[in-house]
């Protein structure tokens, strides 16, 4: 039986700011199918990044459930959660988070090293897919912002994940580089039939996906 990629049930989450309790997620339900590309949009503070982090298992909700391919994520032990994230999920962030002392090739290999299945040929293939095989031996400081984000995309794809989460992946790029990076991300996830969840404040990008979810005041 094929399960949806992600199912969320009645997600609640809040933060305490001073003496004030701020509800960020207010009972969110959603279902994302395998291979679907979904954009999460909304104003600053609406809860879109918190929702993505909760769906990705990086933040635990106060109440509610997240199922990844039928598995209840927060019923798993921390070790099993980490193993599931490494094997089935990957992440792309606005600030790239490349390790400065490692080359582009070495950065791409990191998730595979954690999973115990690193192959330099696989990392080179991923760099080739994003058009950066000729920059394999360069350090992040020697790469442009757009190139660093392409390395981050290659790193996200090294383990052939079922689900990719991208948090404002074009937020630090100009419009030209941002458009090129988004085109690359959409094309590669389409080729691999990967489920893609993108958080963005840019409404013009949101129409590139299969579905747009707008979050406001903690609800969709």
Judge whether 1 lies within some domain: no
Count how many domains the chain has.
Answer: 1
Judge whether 22 lies within some domain: yes
Judge whether 41 lies within some domain: yes
Judge whether 219 lies within some domain: no
Judge whether 44 lies within some domain: yes
**Separation between Cα atoms, residue 146 and residue 23, nearest integer Å:** 35
> What's residue 1's pLDDT?
61
Calculate the alpha carbon distances from 9 to 27, 31, 66, 136 in Å.
8, 9, 7, 42
**Separation between Cα atoms, residue 80 and residue 109, nearest integer Å:** 21
* b/e per residue 139-163 (b: at least 16 CB within 10 A): bbeebebbbbbbbbbbbbbbbebbb
CA atoms within a 13 Å half-sphere pointing along the CA-CB vector of 68? 26
Which candidate, 21, 14, 15, 24, places its Cα nearest to that of 219?
24
Task: Read off the pLDDT band of 196 (50, 70, 90).
Answer: very high
Percent share of the chain, pLDDT over 70: 99
The CATH code of the domain that includes 155 is 3.40.50.300
Q: Is residue 207 pLDDT above 90, yes or no?
A: no
Instruction: Note whether 88 and 165 are within 8 A (CB).
Output: no
Residue in this structure with the two tokens 């305490």, named with its chain if needed = 16
List pLDDT tens digits, range 43-77.
888 889 999 999 999 999 999 999 999 999 999 99
Which range (17-21, 28-32, 170-174) has the least confidence? Answer: 17-21
List pLDDT tens digits, range 113-157.
887 776 889 999 999 999 999 999 999 999 999 999 999 999 999
Residue-number span of the structural domain to which 85 is assigned:
6-214
> What's residue 118's pLDDT?
67
Instruction: For residues 19-26, give the mean pLDDT.
Output: 89
Instruction: For residues 93-122, give the mean pLDDT.
Output: 89
Strands (E), 51-183: 63-68, 71-72, 89-93, 163-167
> What's residue 116's pLDDT?
73
């Amino acid at each position: 039986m094929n399960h949806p990629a992600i199912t969320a049930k009645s997600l609640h989450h809040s933060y305490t700011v001073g003496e004030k309790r701020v509800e960020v997620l207010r009972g969110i339900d959603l279902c994302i199918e395998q291979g679907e590309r979904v954009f999460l949009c909304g104003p600053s503070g609406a809860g879109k990044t918190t929702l993505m982090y909760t769906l990705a298992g990086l933040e635990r909700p106060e109440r509610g459930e997240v199922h990844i391919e039928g598995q209840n994520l927060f019923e798993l032990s921390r070790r099993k959660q980490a193993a599931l994230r490494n094997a089935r999920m990957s992440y792309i962030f606005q600030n790239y988070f490349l390790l400065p002392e490692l080359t582009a090739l070495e950065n791409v290999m990191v998730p595979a090293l954690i999973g115990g299945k690193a192959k330099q040929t696989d990392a080179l293939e991923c760099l080739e897919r994003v058009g950066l095989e000729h920059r394999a031996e360069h350090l992040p400081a020697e790469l442009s912002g757009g190139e660093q984000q392409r390395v981050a995309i290659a790193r996200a794809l090294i383990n052939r994940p079922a689900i990719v989460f991208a948090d404002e992946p074009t937020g630090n790029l100009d419009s030209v580089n941002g458009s090129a990076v988004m085109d690359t991300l959409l094309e590669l996830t389409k080729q691999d039939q990967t489920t893609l969840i993108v958080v963005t404040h840019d409404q013009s990008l949101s129409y590139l996906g299969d579905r747009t979810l707008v979050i406001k005041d903690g609800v969709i």
